Structure 1
Amino acid sequence: MIKLAYIDPYPVPDTRVASLQILQNIDAFARQELEVFLVTPKSHISTESLLGRSVSAGVTFFPLKDPRKKWYFPFNTQKIFFFNVLKWLKKNQVDAIYTRNLKMARFLLSKSLKIPVIFETHEIFAQSFKESHDLASKTNRRKYNNLLKNEHFVYQNAAAIIVLTSFLKEDIYSHYSVDTPCVIAPDGVDSIAAQEAYASSPHTRKEPSSIFYLGSLHPWKGLPIAISAMRHITGAKLTIAGGNAEQIEKLSAFAHQEGVAQKVEFLGYINPLHRFSEIAQHDICILPLTKTSIASRYTSPLKLFEYMAMRKSIVIADLPSIREVVDETSVFFAQSENSDDFGVVLQQVVDDRIESDKRAANALELSRSFTWDHRAQVIAKTIHNILHKF
């Protein structure tokens, strides 16, 4: 059996989205007959509190000491953890290393470990930084150039790169001129949890209809577009789950500014364990993504697959990354960054229950092709191929 070390410099399990994704991945990897060693800083959260169950028996947790944020270590450097990882690798024989942290990958690849390192990336970090920072700043230019160098080194020296979309693969090759094997593996849905929640959830439409968004409130998610779109909506209310107090305060102020505060409710943070039961309480689910690179070309939205698995009517921004996995037979598209169009489409879904139910049923069927197990099969095959040639 192949021994795979999945390494990340942040605790797993944890409530961070990336941590939850890692947890789902290692759980599915172990079901593909990989022996998985999860090497991260110590976590104070249980797997059961996030997944509602234990991970597969083939996963072993190896929490390492990490002095960050301790009273006796007033620095936020990851270097101590990195060197602890090196010590761990010398004591524990593994066949391959898997990580999605750029700095971790850069460090490991610079050490000539003679162990293949597979790097999973969800974006071109330099591109995302460029779009969200002012490069007129000398500090920002330095950070941007460092990202370019680090990404090029990792993409050039990794045994394989795992990406979410074909567009990300295309941009890595065109931006960095590397020939490293690049494997497309979209995100997935926890089919076990989704099926349990769907079986026990109500399947009748509310009056008025309930529109729902679940996820982070980062600018590229496009929440102001959805809020502004409520100006055009009758017979429905919007519920937004996720985000921190500062983000919610800003969006709440925007809702008042747009004159739709009475139509918008903020739930705040939702424990991942309860996400499917929360989705089940609503009729229409949305993803009003923006035209940024990460949204339009690189994302494979977890929430899209979770909405689909719960047989929800979905209104989503019309972007290349989204059309790579769904079309008009399973979702409703609206123009990205166009609140008027988003509102028109939302009202159509509110009014036309027959068509929205039809597409929701198609989305449920399609979701069975986007599970963590399906993703793990693709990646496990890649690891087998690498080791055969290594």
Structure 2
Amino acid sequence: MKLVYLSTARVPDEWAHVIQIMKMCEAFADAGHDVTLAIPQRGRTSGEDPFTYAGVRSNFRIVKLPCVDVNPGSQGKMLFWLRTFSFLVVARCYLLCTAYDLLYTRELFALGDLTKTVFELHSQTDAVRRARHSLIRSRAVVCISQGLADDVVVSGIPREKLVVAPDGVSLGDFERPESSDLARKRLGIPSDKPVALYIGILDTWKGVETLYAAAALMPEVRTVVIGAHDGAEKRLAVEYPHVTFIPFQPYRELANNQQIADVLILPNSGKEAISAKYTSPLKLFSYMASGKPIVASDLPSLREVLSESNTFFAKADDPASFAATVRYVLAHPEEARARASAAQKNVTRYSWTARAEHILSEIE
């Protein structure tokens, strides 16, 4: 089958959705299909090889299509829409001239043959509601969580049109990480205290404010956050002196960086639906693959994958609960090892290859 994955993403780039797109293209190709990733030709894009950056094999091709990219790198609303819709118009011409069997995309306004189009949704938004008629007429709609699928049905999309497929992980990336001592030395983290680690973007809905407050309640633990952008770690270090901030690190270093942790933190907020009901965080699966104990917010979105057998839950948006749970984990090493081991076993069902095969089996 000839599959085109259409995305407006800048590739390569550091954001998790770019890694997810590249991993899915690799997985679709591994399933035996002829895969092309069609993306915009963007200015100020890293010259690094996109396959190397994302840690995927070059078993699919990348086609870059022109777009109106005024002031590359700008996130201004008007320039964003100009760039996006100019790309989608060019992509429409590309699709008309290309023989393909399936168009896979996260772009709600992609202009392809809807009978051959599979849309992937990551949140319930006004844009999803506006695209309802296209979603209904499409081949299928993939939702990354059951909570998202339930709300999409409420908005008028038939349940039989939906495929629920949580995100995944490349298990091979985590088979031979470096030692904790080497990882801490490389990142400049002293070994005088146990480490509670968060890796990811610092958006409010990710719950980082809860973690910052929890850090002040457990000074005997070194709380480390990896993911600050544009020099923000210096400002944050002044504002939150109980937290050690490390700038964003490339995805290919994730497995090694996780090894500095004695406990990994997933502090998602319960105040927004995208976090409480819809998300399927890539870090959830990489945490599970690490062999380290996890402390996570007790939220429906996370419980779709996690349970008391493989995770320690804390009350979302409650710094005291997180601090107490981290202390419990550190005080009960045998139980922590058992749950971490269970997580490693459980995560094997969430490979990118298994995800791609599940999606394709549901739409054929």
Q: TM-score interval w.r.t. the shorter chain?
A: 0.7 to 0.9
1:10 is aligned to 2:12: no
Unaligned runs of 5+ in 2: 73-77, 185-190
1:149 Cα shift? 4.5
State the TM-score, normalized to the length of structure 2.
0.88
| One of 192, 195, 201 as aligned partner of 2:179 | 201
Distance 1:18 1:338, change over 3 A: same
Alignment of 1:41-190 (within 5 A): 41-42=40-41, 44-55=47-58, 57=59, 59-69=60-70, 75-76=79-80, 77=82, 78-104=84-110, 107-108=111-112, 113=113, 115-126=115-126, 147=127, 149-179=129-159, 181-190=161-170
| One of 345, 348, 351 as aligned partner of 1:371 | 351
- Match of 2:67, SS state, is coil
- Cα RMSD over matched residues? 2.4
Aligned residue for 2:265? 286
CA deviation digits over 1:157-215, x for unaligned, max 9? 22111011111111100123545510011101111211132xx4349995411110000
Aligned residue for 1:140? none
- Mapped partners of 1:301, 1:123: distance in 2: 12
1:346 Cα shift? 0.9
Unaligned runs of 5+ in 1: 127-146, 256-260, 386-390
Alignment of 1:202-241 (within 5 A): 202=180, 207-241=192-226
- Mapped partners of 2:139, 2:154: distance in 1: 19
Letter in 1 for 2:125: F
Aligned residue for 1:133? none
Distance 1:335 1:274, change over 3 A: same
- Mapped partners of 1:203, 1:248: distance in 2: 23
- Match of 2:225, SS state, is strand
Distance 1:342 1:8, change over 3 A: same
1:249 Cα shift? 5.9
1:67 Cα shift? 2.8
- Match of 1:123, SS state, is coil
State the TM-score, normalized to the length of structure 1.
0.82
Letter in 2 for 1:214: I
Identical columns (%): 26
1:80 Cα shift? 2.0
| One of 246, 252, 256 as aligned partner of 1:267 | 246
- Mapped partners of 1:231, 1:70: distance in 2: 41
Of 347-356 and 241-250, more deviation after overlay is shown by 241-250
1:347 Cα shift? 0.9
- Match of 2:349, SS state, is coil
1:27 Cα shift? 0.4
CA deviation digits over 1:274-296, x for unaligned, max 9? 11111112221001111111111
Distance 1:203 1:318, change over 3 A: farther
Distance 1:79 1:245, change over 3 A: closer
- Match of 1:161, SS state, is strand
Letter in 2 for 1:54: R
- Mapped partners of 1:148, 1:29: distance in 2: 25
| One of 333, 337, 348 as aligned partner of 1:357 | 337
Alignment of 1:289-328 (within 5 A): 289-291=268-270, 292-328=272-308
Aligned residue for 1:142? none
1:246 Cα shift? 7.4
1:13 Cα shift? 3.1
Letter in 1 for 2:35: V
